[in-house]
Amino acid sequence: MTKAFRKNDLLIIKLGGSIITNKREKFKAKIKQINKICKVISELNKRMILVHGGGSFAHPIAKKYQLNLGYKSRDQLIGYSETKIKLIELSEIILKALKRSNLPSILFLPSSFIIAKNGRIFKIDLEPLKMLLDLSIVPLLSGDIVPDYEKGFSIVSGDQIATELALKLKAEKVIFGCDVDGIFTKDPKKNKNAEIIPIIKPSMFKEIVKMISKSSCIDVTHGMLGKLKEGIRLAKNGIEAVILNLNNPNNLKRFIEGKKVLCSRILPD
């Protein structure tokens, strides 16, 4: 028997590449951390979709073959294939961790049902995903390299995918799990005086972009900027976005239970 959920209580959780892989070592998953996160996720009792980043499984290959530029030559195609193999390998690690926590999950490859146009999602067929979601199966997706009308193929981030799913399926909220507590006035890994910004609204976007663009850490700057942009897009459409630290997976459970957690919430104006 499937669980009875409200149709509007869908939760989308993005597992950042920095929290599930060691970005300093190629193809190195944080197995223990993934197991802990999946155990907490299995206890949430929510309709959920999970999306994960590629981390050290995808980015090194994508960079080597310049897949971010789109299709330029046949030499890139073996890199496309290698990247897909590694993404699936990482997804399988997460799927097995979810199974060990007795949470049924199915892998959905974005490249099989998403088409982009100049790097942004343009077409998406969600019917199979919705049908399995209604059976209380948790769809698992990742950032991916998808067909692109303008570029041949393009990299579509997990952040963009999570946002698009939330908008199309009218999710309650999107949680971006990463390795810092939220969005700060400065890079918290470099500056002890950095202060978290607990509430962010679309009207604050330009001011906050100036703050995080001063960060000297490329991963944090670019990753957070992407999350901020997608979070603002969600907030403008009435969906809350949350950026929190999954180094302690219990932060996720505590937040869902309405308890106080250090994080950044992106809310409508």
CATH number assigned to the domain comprising residue 201: 3.40.1160.10
Are the C-beta atoms of residues 243 and 197 closer than 8 Å to each other? no
Question: The pTM is what?
Answer: 0.92
Are the C-beta atoms of residues 183 and 69 closer than 8 Å to each other? no
**70: number of Cβ within 10 Å:** 18
Query: Is residue 6 one of the residues assigned to a domain?
Result: no
Total count of domains within the chain: 1
Query: Is residue 117 one of the residues assigned to a domain?
Result: yes
Q: What pLDDT is recorded for position 224?
A: 81
Query: Is residue 2 one of the residues assigned to a domain?
Result: no
Structure tokens at 136: 């209380």
Query: Is residue 18 one of the residues assigned to a domain?
Result: yes
State how far the Cα of 244 lies from the Cα of 32, in Å rounded to an integer. 19
Query: Is residue 4 one of the residues assigned to a domain?
Result: no
Query: Is residue 3 one of the residues assigned to a domain?
Result: no
Query: Is residue 223 one of the residues assigned to a domain?
Result: yes
Are the C-beta atoms of residues 50 and 41 closer than 8 Å to each other? yes
Are the C-beta atoms of residues 263 and 244 closer than 8 Å to each other? yes
* Averages of pLDDT over each 10 residues, the chain, 269 residues: 54 96 92 97 95 93 94 96 97 98 97 97 97 96 97 96 97 95 86 90 90 47 78 96 96 95 95
Q: What pLDDT is recorded for position 46?
A: 92
State how far the Cα of 162 lies from the Cα of 141, in Å rounded to an integer. 9
State how far the Cα of 174 lies from the Cα of 20, in Å rounded to an integer. 18
Q: What pLDDT is recorded for position 8?
A: 62
Phi, psi dihedrals of residue 196, rounded to the nearest 5° = -70, 145
Query: Is residue 151 one of the residues assigned to a domain?
Result: yes
For residue 48, what are the domain limits?
11-266
Structure tokens at 61: 């290959």
